Amino acid sequence: MHGETPFRLAVARHTSTVIVEVTDTGTGEVSVHDPAASDPHGRGLRVVARLAQSWGVHSNGPRPGKTVWFRLDVAADARSPRQLA
């Protein structure tokens, strides 16, 4: 689950980079924090921060919500999932 609002996921592959964007209409703040062990939420951005080469967040301008993005570097010759079959 991603918050309490609908969201859009966009993934783009470039030669040696994958860019992922998650856009929602929620008003919640984006933060990386240490949730309690019993808390079922709040770990997503911790995972992103550990794995991504860079990440950030920006407002959706006059529309409500925000977009969180991250960049993953991949080998230029890495095969796509369709090629693995």
- Count up the domains in the chain and report the number: 1
Indicate whether 14 belongs to any domain.
Answer: yes
Indicate whether 1 belongs to any domain.
Answer: no
Indicate whether 2 belongs to any domain.
Answer: no
Indicate whether 57 belongs to any domain.
Answer: yes
Which H or E run contains 48?
helix 44-51
Indicate whether 34 belongs to any domain.
Answer: yes
Q: Which domain holds residue 49?
A: 7-84
How do residues 22-58 score in pLDDT, each as one tens digit?
999 887 777 777 778 888 777 788 888 889 999 999 8
Indicate whether 17 belongs to any domain.
Answer: yes
pLDDT at 1: 42
